Amino acid sequence: MAALIAAARKEGTLNVIALPAGWANYGAIMKTFSQRYGIRIHSIAPGDRSPQEITEIRQDNGTVRAADVLDVEMSVAAANRKLFAPYQVATWQAIPASQKAPDGAWVQDYGGFMSVGYNSARFGQLTALRQLLGHRFSRAVALDGNPAQANAALYGVMMTSLALGGTANSIADGVAFFRKLKAAGNFVPVLATTPLTIEAGSTPVVFNWDYLNTAAIVGQPARSWRVFIPAGAAVGEFHAQAINKNAPHPAAARLWEEFLYSQARRGGQNLWLEGGVRPVEQAAMIANGSIDAAASHALPPVPAATVFLTPGQAASAAAYLHAHWSRAVG
């Protein structure tokens, strides 16, 4: 680490891409890293999406303008691993094997689980998704977009399928449930992406990632807003870190990864947790006592069994939705 720090300080700069300061506490993360190591961070296109990150490193390959590190969705990470430099951080063993490439070409970093946020003062306690078919949920249930187009909505339908006894290999049961939900008059095709629709009462039940469904994020009183993850249906998705194999600042890139996966009180794992997202090493940190307990308890509990879709399963679900969602639900 001493040699890595010295080499990174000599480079003096780290190029990051697609990291909005207000997302997942990245503003504090970048500031802490820069102050700790005396390395200037050049933030490229903070509003870009994962595919644009890949386009950028291809365009600027071999130049000092290229991004050193990437934070991408898993589908993008899996499809572009040849562009990445394998690297294993010091906390490698704390990262579940299913959440990293064996050689470290990509490593999942933070994410969450699909959930249902709802107004318990209006609906009482939600313990099973079948309750949503009842009359009291009339025109109340919303997804974060069209699942044939929006990833969060796709995962909402997959969570439903799993909760009804299906498997990650098929999303059909979830589509059938939403068809029943629409027939009952309970599904509303309103994009539930901001607190405004919840405040207005047009989407009092929202399927979304748990870190976007908490009371503080949606602007609701904690005493009445609840977040529910059905037993047997904890389907998660994490972003992934990767190092550009042609990074102009290779030492700084690796030091950045060491910082992000550090379990220290002001290391990346706890700083992500402060931002409301679940760090990939959360289970290990709970076990060894390094977790920020207050930040961890602010997120809803996750059932013991969790599911992470493989790229093939995610692609199969997307294909089924493209073929069936419009006809079944509209």
Task: Note the pLDDT tens digit of each residue in 176-224.
Answer: 999 999 999 999 988 876 788 888 888 999 999 988 888 888 889 989 9
* Residues 164, 225 within the same domain: yes
* Residues 212, 313 within the same domain: yes
Q: Which pLDDT does position 306 carry in this prediction?
A: 87
* Residues 138, 91 within the same domain: no
* Residues 225, 273 within the same domain: no
**167, β-bridge pairs:** none
Domain enclosing residue 311, as ranges: 112-235+304-328
CB atoms within 10 A of CB 38: 10
Please name the residues in contact with 67: beta carbons below 8 A apart, sequence gap of 6 or more: 15, 16, 17, 44, 53, 56, 57, 60, 244, 247
| pLDDT tens-place string over residues 114-142 | 999 999 999 999 999 999 999 999 999 99
pLDDT at 300 over 80: no
pLDDT at 159 over 80: yes
Q: Which pLDDT does position 305 carry in this prediction?
A: 82
* Residues 71, 86 within the same domain: yes
Question: Mean pLDDT throughout 59-76?
Answer: 94
Q: Quick one: what percent of the chain has pLDDT higher than 90? A: 81
H or E segment at 273? Answer: helix 268-274
More confident residue, 330 or 257: 257
Q: Which pLDDT does position 44 carry in this prediction?
A: 97
* Residues 157, 132 within the same domain: yes
- By three-state DSSP, how is residue 226 classified? strand
* Residues 116, 231 within the same domain: yes
Gap between the Cα atoms of 284 and 223, Å rounded: 30
Question: Mean pLDDT throughout 231-237?
Answer: 91
Give me the amino acid identity at 266: R
Q: Which pLDDT does position 38 carry in this prediction?
A: 98
pLDDT at 112 over 80: yes
Considering only CA atoms, which of 307, 133, 310, 175 is closest in space to residue 229? Answer: 307
Gap between the Cα atoms of 174 and 321, Å rounded: 10
Gap between the Cα atoms of 186 and 83, Å rounded: 46
Average pLDDT, whole number, for the chain?
94
Gap between the Cα atoms of 117 and 102, Å rounded: 35
The alpha carbon of residue 294 and the mean position of all alpha carbons in its chain are separated, in whole angstroms, by 20
* Residues 19, 94 within the same domain: yes
pLDDT at 70 over 90: yes
Burial of 271 by CB count in 10 Å (0-12 exposed, 13-18 middle, 19+ buried)? Answer: buried
| pLDDT tens-place string over residues 1-47 | 999 999 999 999 999 999 999 889 999 999 999 999 999 999 999 99
Q: Which pLDDT does position 196 carry in this prediction?
A: 86
What's the total number of domains in the chain?
A: 2
Q: Which pLDDT does position 193 carry in this prediction?
A: 65
Q: Which pLDDT does position 321 carry in this prediction?
A: 97
* Residues 173, 314 within the same domain: yes
H or E segment at 108? Answer: strand 107-119
* Residues 185, 318 within the same domain: yes
Q: What is the CATH number of the domain that holds 224?
A: 3.40.190.10
Strand-strand pairing, 13-17 and 40-44 = parallel
Q: Which pLDDT does position 191 carry in this prediction?
A: 83
* Residues 45, 60 within the same domain: yes
* Residues 279, 145 within the same domain: no
Residue 285, both tokens: 């940190």
Gap between the Cα atoms of 228 and 301, Å rounded: 9
Check if the beta carbon of residue 54 is closer than 8 Å to that of residue 80.
yes
